[in-house]
Amino acid sequence: MTLGLEDALVSGIPIGVGQRANCDVCGADLRPNDRVEVLVLIDGTEIDVVTTRGMCCARGSLRPETRRPCWLARGTLAASIGPGGHSRVILTGASVIDRTE
Ligand SMILES: [Zn+2]
């Protein structure tokens, strides 16, 4: 499988500040090396993570009624240092598994 443009775009996007993120559905702690599923809203050249789900609550596909341009991607959390030296977690090795269009 080749790394597509979408995969490259979602890899490296920040998921949370500090050393953790949370599953937006059940609130479970997500830490570096955890697999996550994220819903990403595409607005022109802007990419916004609107929902982060742990594998605990992963759905694997977008709802069929989804109308807004968005991607569902899976990847692994990794610790990173953001602008200003603050620690954060980012999405790495991501691949888009579903998309509207
Ligand atoms: Zn969950």
Report the number of distinct structural domains present in the chain.
1
Distance 52 CA to ligand 1 centre (A): 9
Task: Look up the pTM and report it.
Answer: 0.88
* pLDDT value of residue 1: 52
Q: How many residues does the chain have?
A: 101
Distance 51 CA to ligand 1 centre (A): 11
In eight-state DSSP terms, residue 84 is G
Average pLDDT of the chain, as a whole number: 92
Distance (Å, whole) CA 4 – CA 34: 22
Distance 55 CA to ligand 1 centre (A): 7
Distance (Å, whole) CA 83 – CA 63: 34
- Residue 13's domain spans which residues? 5-99
Distance 22 CA to ligand 1 centre (A): 8
